[in-house]
Amino acid sequence: MAVEEGLKIELGKQGVLVTTIEELYNWGRRSSIWPMQFGLACCAIEMIATTMARYDLARFGAEVFRPSPRQADLMIISGTVTKKMAPQVVRLYNQMAEPKYVIAMGACAISGGPFKQGYNVLKGIDRYIPVDVHIPGCPPRPEALLQAFMTLQKKIDAQPLTGEGRPRHLDAEAQGEFPVPVQGEHDLEPTSNPGVWTVPVVIR
Amino acid sequence: MKTVEEIKAAIEAAVPDARVEIVANPSVSGQHSLRLTPSRAIEVATFLRDGLKFDYLSNVTGVDWPDKEIAEKVKVTREVTKVEDGVEQTAQETVEETRKRVEPGCLEAVYHLYSMSLKQGPLVLRMRTLNRTDQAELPSLTPVWRSAEFQEREIWDLYGIVFSGHPDLRRLLMWDGFKDHPMRRDYVEPDDFEYEPTAHDDVLKRAEAHRAAHATAGAAGHEATGGEQ
pLDDT in tens, chain B (229 residues): 788 999 999 999 999 888 899 999 999 988 899 999 999 999 999 999 999 999 999 999 999 999 888 888 888 888 777 777 777 777 788 888 888 888 888 999 999 999 999 998 799 999 999 988 888 999 999 999 999 999 999 999 999 999 999 999 999 999 998 999 999 998 988 888 888 888 888 888 988 888 888 887 654 444 444 444 4
Model confidence pLDDT, tens digit, residues A108-150 = 999 998 998 888 999 999 999 999 999 999 999 999 999 999 9
Q: Pick the residue with more confidence: B84 or A28?
A: A28
CB-defined contacts A:B, below 8 A:
57
Instruction: Say what percent of chain A tops pLDDT 90.
Output: 59
Output the pTM of the full model. Answer: 0.82
**Shortest Cα distance, chain B CAs vs residue A161, angstroms:** 31
**Shortest Cα distance, chain A CAs vs residue B177, angstroms:** 6
B224 and chain A in contact, CB less than 8 A = yes
Residues 6+ apart with CB under 8 A from B164: B137, B138, B139, B140
Confidence tier at A49 by pLDDT (50, 70, 90): very high
Model confidence pLDDT, tens digit, residues A150-168 = 999 999 999 998 888 888 8
CB contact under 8 A, A183 and B224: no
pLDDT of residue A132: 93
Amino acid code (one letter) for A138: C
DSSP run (H or E) holding B163 = strand B162-164
What b-and-e string marks burial along A61-92, b requiring 16 or more CB atoms within 10 Å of the CB? bbebbbeebeebbbbbbbbbbbbbbbbebbeb
Question: Cα(A132)–Cα(A103) distance, rounded to whole angstroms?
Answer: 6
pLDDT of residue A163: 84
pLDDT of residue B217: 65
ipTM score for this prediction = 0.77
B204 and chain A in contact, CB less than 8 A = no
A83 and chain B in contact, CB less than 8 A = yes
Q: Pick the residue with more confidence: B82 or A35?
A: A35
Residues 6+ apart with CB under 8 A from A14: none
Residue A117 burial (C-beta neighbours within 10 Å; 0-12, 13-18, 19+): middle
CA geometry: angle B1, B6, B12, nearest 5 deg:
135
pLDDT of residue B218: 55
A203 and chain B in contact, CB less than 8 A = no
CB contact under 8 A, B175 and A120: no
- For residue A35, the cross-strand partners are A74
